[in-house]
Structures are given as structure tokens and as C-alpha cells.
Amino acid sequence: MPAKKPAKKAAKKKGDYDASSISVLEGLEPVRKRPGMYIGTTGPDGLHHMIWEIFDNSRDEAMGGFANRVEVTLLPDNYIRVVDNGRGIPVDVHKQTKVSALETIMTTLHAGGKFGGDESGYKVSGGLHGVGVSVVNALSTHTRVDVHKDGFQYMQEYNIGKAKAKVKKLGKTKHNGSIVVFQADPDIFPEIKFDWKRIVSHLRQQAYLVKGMRMTVIDARESEEKLDPKSIESKIYLADEHLSVPHETFYFEGGLKSLVSFNNHYQKPINKNIFYVEKQDVSPEVLTVEVALQYVDDISPRITAFANNIYNPEHGTHVTGFKTALTRTLNNYAKKGNFFSAKDKDTAFTGDDVLEGITAVISVKMPEIQFEGQTKAKLGSVEARSATEAVFGDAFNTFLEENPDDAKAIINKVIIAVKARKAAKAAKDSVLRKGALEGMSLPGKLADCQSRKAEDSEIFIVEGDSAGGSAKMGRDRKTQAVLPLRGKILNVERARIDKMLASEQIKNLVIALGTAIGDVFDVSKLRYHKIIIATDADVDGAHIRTLLLTLFFRYFRALIDEGYVYIAQPPLYKIQKGKDVRYAFTDEEKFDILKDMGEEVKEEVEENEDGEETEEVEDEVKKTSRVRIQRYKGLGEMNAEELAETTMNKENRILKQVTVEDAQNADKVFDILMGTDVTSRKSFIQSNAKMANLDI
């Protein structure tokens, strides 16, 4: 008898998700040796990146139309739980690895549904090229995955990236989806402390990007229900249990339009109707472009960009295409509508003109995507530029034609920007020309350093002539320069360059830094690689510091991004007992020093005028004590020796480097604190009064 032919394998249906959808590229061993290569850092950014990696897989299911609900829960013992109602991770045996697809995905680097070219994998993916879940597993002490798929529930557990046993079939289920629970490894991460606000902010943003996805975040770390992170598989969605713990749910049908509205909450709109378009461009490949924008009564542009739902802080080709189309479309509309006077008929809007006061969000989704650099901060795909330019340009032109009132308001806004640009250029040229004619003469109040090497030089921006005098006497003349400011500088939040440069204080600072300002700003010409803001430890000092940070954030952002801006931390107290002299930077440090000196510190509980109890610690120690405590109210109260020893000496001083972890949130804080909306500012201050030391 002829041998039986092997049975033909059933044809794969479109959208099927099984082991054959998973591609394998290489092993997992390097992850624990060099975690920074895979998650960027083992600090707070890398720790939170672990959540984003697991979440991205669930979000990709929603982007593909296979899920509409995702839940992220913070659990006791530093566990994180991510759930989706997607297709469920495949559990059948993978032909290449000979183990289940689930184990392959969880224990093999570059294994995932993001490499296959068929219909079963992801057409559009935002994950880290398929490495995400295996990297998280490798950097976790314990991981558990529950899969609800095809009527059954499956489970597998792992320790430090290695499977404890084979995949178990637990029983029947009426659900579909995946549950991933992991516990970050303290041997990898020095501090495991998840930031609730940071997580909520990131996931809210993602909810805007996937229309119709219900996104829930739960903080069950202090839950009275005593949830056991290792055995909660029976509860698919914890939010359905009505837990009495902090939680947020986001669901946006408006997508990017809703995000623009959210970003402009504290702004006065110029065009009442928010522009929005979502459309596919099929040349040369299918690419989805989504753009929303609205102009507001402000001078700063706010452009947020995403590619496959990954935030691109450095923008990229899609933003280039958007800007090109925006400038061309507004120029054409203005000329067609005769918005220019006869003498200005040859005027053309520049890219900077049309960006003034714009709030825009640009998102592209494409199957083959390229980023510039490991961090995905900038999109490099060439196709994204032409697609965004074509889709947005056509739609925005139609918007202007169909909304003449909004179009007129936008054009008038841009014309004001043109006039301001010309005035600012004249003022700026005047400053630069003056500097050139005087051989770039530095401000008279600046005590410059001897070094001409920027990397060795630093400048102290101090408050008032008194502190300036002490700083000049106590500095290291070779490497330290001092520039005293007279009072509070101009609030530049809504000021143009011409008004700024009319301020002697700001003009002196610009010339001292050497970078120029505006479109001729050049960070390579910076004269000092440490710009140190040194103000008094009081309300006025904090205000001056905020004004300076506003100036740097709005007009010298590169100085912050490249790590050149610092805040000095002068001591609050000088404590002396005989020849033993010490300085305390906080009240707690003061009490520790007193105790170390053998002094008793009395604590007294008193009632304030509202009848509330307040705890105070007496500055006065025993009457017989020889301890002298001096409270510094300002830098000017220190003599040159004290200021040099505590605040300027590189061996002893404490400096805080100014960074911007979340540019969007920082932008919003500056809008509130330094803008014109008094009600919002008052509300913000009242809400954050107890957090006096704000990091932006």
C-alpha cells in the first residue's frame, strides 16, 4: 500500500495569532549584564520603562483592533500588573524553540509578534522591537503570566527570566486576554519606587493616542483587601471589584483633538474650532497620519509628536513635513485673501512666524519605522515627511476655507508675529552690533574669570550687590565668574525678544553667556559650562530663581537639556561651638549637628491662632551652652570666606542640576505659574503649597 501523505495543515486565517506568528532572533543572556542597553538606565527612568514595555504590548493589541481595554495596577511588594482583553499570548509549541510560544516570548530576546510580515503579527507596533517583555522578565525577581485564550486559562511563572516549570493549563475561562505580573529586581534597580503621577501622566497620554481604548490605572499598594500579587489571576479586572484605592480611568473618542484641548486648558484660544484630520496615505506604503492643532494667545509653540505611539521629544521627519505644509498653506491663504497691505505685499510668513502660539499634536503609524538613535527620540523614516505634508496640507487648506472666522483669526495672529519678529530682529541686531563694536565688551557688573576654556569655567548669577560683593571676594578667580542681578528680572513667559532685550538685566546676561539669543543662538559659543543660580532662601529668592528658570526654559532650553544650568544650595545655619564650626542646609541637619555636639534639643508643642497644634523645636539650646546658631536669611549676610566655603568651594558645595524630565508638564507648570490666568495659578499654589521644593 502506498504510504499515507501527511495531512495538510489548515490554512491560517487572517488575524490568527499563534506560535507561527513569533520570530526568534537571539538569546537573552546579555540583558542582566548590561541592563542599560535595553532600558536606558537602572534609575527611575529605567524602572518606569519596565511598565511601559509591558503596557506597550497591550496597547499594540488595541491599536490592531484586537482589544479595547487595558488596566495597569500597582500592587504591594513592588509588583506591577498589566491586563488586556486582547487575543492572549500564544501558548502552542513554537517550531524553532520546541517550547511554548509563551515561554519563547518571555525568555528569548528579539522574540515577538512584531517581526513577522503576515497578517497575524502587528501591522503597527510601538514596542521595543519585540525585546520588551523578555527584558522585563530578565530584570524581575518574579514574573507570572496568565493567558486566557480559546476558552482555557494558561499560566507560567519565571524567576530572573527563567521559567520555573512548563506552561500549565488551569481550566476553562470565558475571558480572552493576557495578565502579566512582575516584580523588579532590587539587585538591578538601586531604588524601587514607582511614581503614581508619572505613571498616570504617561498612560493618560497613551489613551489619547488610541481612540476608543479604555485605560485604567490603579494604586493598590496600600489596599485593605491585602491583594496577594502572586495569586490574583481569578480577578481579570481589579477595577470591576470596586476597590477603595486611588484609580484613574481614561477613555477618549476625540483622540488627538481631546489632547490638544487638554494641553490648552490654561490658554485663551485664537481659533475656536480645533483642526483635526486622520487619514491614510498609501504612497509608497500604507501610513496613517493624524494631526490636531489650535492657536492660542501666547508666543511659545507647543508641538508634541508621536510615531507608532512612541513620544518623540526631538521630533523628526513627520514634524518637518507638518511645518512645511503649515507654512505653505498659511502663506497661500493670506495672499489669496489679500491680508497684506500694499507696502507689505511681498511679505512671506516664515516657519517661526506660523509656529508662534500653536499647540499641535502629530502622530504617524507605519509598519516599517526607523528612529535616529537608541532612545527613539527622533523619527527618521523618510516616508513620514511626504505623507504628513500631503495629508495635513490638503486637510488644513480645506479647514481654512470652511472656517473663515477661524482662518482670519489665525492669519491675524501670524501677522502680529511677523511685525514682532521684525522689531525683535532690530533690537537683537542692536545688542549684537553693540557687542561687536565694543569688541564684545562684557557687562560692567560682571566679574569674569581668567580661564577661557568653557569646560573649566562657571558663572554665579547672584541676587543683589551685597551677595555679589561677597561672591566676587570669595570666588576662585581662575575659573569662577560672578554676575549680580539688581532685583527681579522681567517675566519672559509672554514677552518677545525686543522687550526682553530692552531689559538691562537680561541683556547683560545674554552678553555674558556669549550664546546670543533667538534664531542666532549658538550653544557652542557658551562661555561657561556651569551656570549657577544662587539666590536667597526666602520668597523673593525663590521668585527670582523661578524668573531665571523661565528665561532659560523658554529661550535657552538647550542649556538645560545639555546639563549646564544649576541651582546653588547655600546653608541655612552656621553652628559654632568653640572652634567647631559647621553648616546646616536643613532644619533636620541642624538638629543632628546639635545632637552630635552633645546638646539637648527640646521640642515643644504649641497651638497657633487657629487652635491647631504645631510642633516647634527651639533654636535656643541650654542657656549654659556655648553653641552659637546663626540663621542666614540671604547670601549677603555671609562674608566672603563663609560664602566661598559653603556655596562656591567645589569640594564642599551642594549644587542641584536643573533637568526637564517631562517637557510637557514643565511647560504647563510655567503656563500656570508665570502666565496671566490668576485663578489657575492660585489653585495650583494652594494644591502644591506643601511641596515647596518643586522639580520641573
- 430 Cβ contact list (under 8 Å, min separation 6): 501
- Judge whether 354 and 421 are in contact, CB under 8 Å: no
Phi, psi of 574, rounded to the nearest 5 degrees: -115, 125
- 20 Cβ contact list (under 8 Å, min separation 6): 12, 95, 120
CA dihedral in degrees (433, 436, 437, 438; nearest 10)? 120
Nearest to 564 by CA among 484, 444, 454, 403: 454
Q: Bridge-partner residues for 147, per DSSP?
A: 154, 178
The catalytic residue among 60, 71, 536, 667 is: 536
The catalytic residue among 53, 146, 463, 671 is: 463
- Judge whether 469 and 652 are in contact, CB under 8 Å: no
Contacts of 219-225 with C-beta under 8 Å, sequence gap 24+, read: 219/73, 219/74, 219/245, 219/246, 219/247, 220/73, 220/74, 220/75, 220/76, 220/245, 221/74, 221/75, 221/76, 222/76, 223/75, 223/76
Nearest to 189 by CA among 300, 32, 66: 32
d(CA 579, CA 161): 58
Record the cell numbers describing residue 189, joined without a space.
534597580
Nearest to 134 by CA among 153, 115, 166, 112: 112
The catalytic residue among 405, 538, 600, 620 is: 538
Is 540 catalytic? The answer is yes
Record the cell numbers describing residue 529, joined without a space.
559650562
- Judge whether 14 and 94 are in contact, CB under 8 Å: no
Beta-strand relationship, 378-379 and 371-372: antiparallel
**DSSP H/E element including 202:** helix 196-209
Beta-strand relationship, 111-112 and 79-84: unpaired
Q: Other CB atoms closer than 10 Å to residue 37's CB: what's the count?
A: 11
Is 536 catalytic? The answer is yes
Record the cell numbers describing residue 80, joined without a space.
506591577
The amino acid at 672: I
- 3-state percent breakdown (helix, strand, coil) of the chain, nearest 5: 35, 20, 40
The catalytic residue among 540, 589, 637, 662 is: 540
The amino acid at 96: Q
3-state secondary structure of 389: helix
Altogether, the residues listed in the chain come to a count of 696
Is 228 catalytic? The answer is no
Name the DSSP class of 21: G
d(CA 80, CA 143): 10
* Residue in the block written with cell 541651582: 567
3-state secondary structure of 47: helix
Is 150 catalytic? The answer is no
d(CA 628, CA 626): 6
d(CA 641, CA 653): 13
3-state secondary structure of 211: coil
Nearest to 657 by CA among 523, 530, 512: 530
- Residues labelled as active-site residues: 463, 536, 538, 540
